[in-house]
Amino acid sequence: MKKYKIFGFIAFFLVLSVGLFSCLTDEKVENQEYGIINLTANKIIELPSDASHIVSKTLLPEGVVDVNLGEVRLAAEGVASEDIVVTLTTSKSAAMNPGQLLFPLDKVVVPSTLTIPKGQRSVPLVAKVNTGFLIPDPQYMSISIASVDKQGYIISGNYGNINVNFKLRHRYEGKYVLTGVMDHLPSIGAYVHISNFFAPDPYICRLETNDGESLIFFEEQGFNDYTYPMMTAAGGFSGWGSFCPIFYFDAQGNITKVENAYGQPASNTRSAKLDPSGVNKYDQATKSFQVSYWMAQPSVVPTPPSYRCHMVEKYTFLKNL
């Protein structure tokens, strides 16, 4: 009987030892992702970012410009006790998927070294970008911490690099106050324009860069996605599923067409079409534009041209995104 107890004790000890050893060799403990963190002993140099490790920048073509990409930071209990020189490298983005584009590395200048000054915790990371090489689709690059010139500092395992993408920003991108009228043609009054729901307060939306020629509508007051909103006759907040307008502009600010972001038509047969009888033009003086368009839906209105809603709207610029 005693022999079995001894064997059981030995087995328990072995399991416990393996468990303790695995904890001691856990990379997440070593990298201080969890466990007891000693910021005094292990002073970490990092490129802070969100969980995606991606920094996105949409820019206008203005030449060679300074672009703030964040900071190089000391993660420690106190501020830097000495000047810390951090060496950076750039390369093809480690997070790139097949088909994603690399921003020409000779068209962006990232400092080869940055110094976190004594008495500070961080230093801004500013790159010089030649915006003449921007395109509507995101172009990627990677920035990594290569080395630190002092002993006793650790390069973060989780935040040692960031992936940056640059994209052409449409000149009219921004937050806008939206006013207007929406007529539901099969039954006038059944659904009305969203600005009525928020009146007398303004209804604010975002117009984001779709590409160099167009803006896509983004609803941020309720859905927080690409859904075109409206108000029901009962006064409720609602929206048109699989319908979101994209507005196309020419070089003179004329709106040349409106399309549905979900397809022309989408799976529910909804599409968008410009009403040429409207104003349909951006006004530089007031930083606003007017637009008239239809939402067609043959599955509900089978008789051509199958217009279900008619919108006459004004978007007045509020601020940059």
Across the chain, mean pLDDT equals: 88
* Nearest partner of 128 among 199, 197, 191, 57, judged by Cα: 57
Domain at 35-168, CATH homologous superfamily: CalX-beta domain (2.60.40.2030)
Query: What pLDDT was estimated at residue 167?
Result: 87
pLDDT of residue 139 exceeding 60, the answer is yes
Kindly give, in sequence order, each residue whose CB lies less than 8 Å from that of residue 37, ignoring residues fewer than 6 positions away. Answer: none
Angle 317-318-321 (CA atoms, 0-180°, nearest 5)? Answer: 100
Query: What pLDDT was estimated at residue 100?
Result: 76
Residue indicated by tokens 């309720």: 222
Residues of the chain with pLDDT > 70: what percent?
A: 85
Beta bridge partners of 104: none
What's the pLDDT tens digit per position in 30-47? 444 444 445 455 699 999
Mean pLDDT of 68-82: 95
* Nearest partner of 143 among 173, 171, 166, 120, judged by Cα: 166
Query: What pLDDT was estimated at residue 68?
Result: 97
Most confidently modeled of 57-66, 129-138, 192-201, 203-212?
A: 192-201
pLDDT of residue 63 exceeding 60, the answer is yes
Do 301 and 307 meet the contact criterion of CB atoms below 8 Å apart? yes
Angle 103-133-254 (CA atoms, 0-180°, nearest 5)? Answer: 125
85 CB-side CA count, 13 A: 4
Mean pLDDT of 63-81: 95
Mean pLDDT of 128-148: 91
Identify which has the larger pLDDT, 102 or 202: 202
Query: What pLDDT was estimated at residue 142?
Result: 92
Do 285 and 274 meet the contact criterion of CB atoms below 8 Å apart? no
How far apart, in whole angstroms, are the C-alpha atoms of residue 147 and residue 144? 9
Q: How far does CA 129 lie from the centroid of its chain?
A: 19
Do 180 and 314 meet the contact criterion of CB atoms below 8 Å apart? yes
If 0-12 CB within 10 Å is exposed, 13-18 middle and 19+ buried, where does residue 305 land? Answer: exposed
* Nearest partner of 216 among 321, 102, 62, 99, judged by Cα: 321
Query: What pLDDT was estimated at residue 227?
Result: 97
Most confidently modeled of 8-22, 55-69, 93-107, 218-232?
A: 218-232
Query: Residue 119 has which token pair?
Result: 């008495």
* Domain range annotation of the chain: 35-168, 174-319
What's the pLDDT tens digit per position in 43-61? 999 999 988 889 999 888 8
DSSP per residue, 60-100: ---SEEEEEEEEEEEESSS--SS-EEEEEEEES-TTPPTTP
Name the CA dihedral angle for 32, 34, 35, 38, rounded to a multiple of 10 degrees.
Answer: 30
For the chain, how many residues are written?
321
**Which CATH number is 174-319's, of 2.40.128.120, 3.90.550.10, 3.10.620.30, 3.40.50.720?**
2.40.128.120
* Nearest partner of 205 among 313, 121, 311, judged by Cα: 313
